[in-house]
Amino acid sequence: MISKRTARLISALPKPIGNFCARFMVKRYISKYANITVVNEHRLKDVKEPAIFIANHLSNSDGPVLNKVLKDFDVTFVAGIKLSKNSLTNLGVGGIKTIPINPNTADKAAITQTINHIKSGKSIFIFPEGTRSRTGSMIEAKKGILLIAKMTKAPIVPIGIEGTEKLLPIDDKDMGNEKFNHADVTVTIGEQFYLPERLGGEGKHEYEDRALNYTMGNIAKLLSYDYRGFYADNK
């Protein structure tokens, strides 16, 4: 595994050189440790861009794994800003395109940047839960995805991911201590959909709950039951 010292040295390089090194190293680790199976990969051919890709969130390896699966798309990930503040996790961020966001806050600047990014014709990737699941199963999502989808009217592409919680397990004490393990990873591509319309007479909160459940349900149905968590019984 890469040492913290090496990670700090790469982070200190000029950004273009540092990002090149980061991409090379991240690809190397993903290729070495992740045995990736993509289910329904043919559905990617039908994706209309710009699109909003969404998935459940299990590990800091989710972004690099999904970036590899979506290699034919120019996707920018909305990622927690704290990832760039740790020398090791910053390598992962440097290996993919990102829009930094302050998690669990109404980060208006990041949301505006994301909306403008889509309106400029570029696709983005969001983890609607806002953080990695500590149980390996889905947790309740944040409503930011609804605002972004509503303001851009972009199609949404759901993706289910399993196995990355074993590939790069969470270390809540220090993300810099997280280590790769050999693991089977399954990525399942769902069918593209659009945010449902608000029904006549439907209250704002009632609509948001229904739209969010529908959105996350499209991820849940791509997962094995044990991974569905909060959305296990979603209709």
| pLDDT tens profile 133-149 | 999 999 999 999 999 99
User: Helix count (H) and strand count (E) of the chain?
Assistant: 9, 7
Provide the whole-model pTM: 0.90
Residue 166 is predicted with a pLDDT of 97
Residue type, 122: K
Percentage of the chain lying above the pLDDT 90 cut: 67
Domain ranges in the chain? 4-231
Q: Is a pLDDT exceeding 60 seen at residue 94?
A: no
| pLDDT tens profile 39-71 | 999 999 999 999 999 999 999 999 999 999 999
Non-local CB neighbours of 42 within 8 Å, separated by 6+ positions: none
pLDDT-based confidence at residue 105 (cuts at 50, 70, 90): low
86 token code pair: 């740790």
Fold of 4-231: Glycerol-3-phosphate (1)-acyltransferase (3.40.1130)
Greatest mean pLDDT range, 31-45, 80-94, 95-109? 31-45
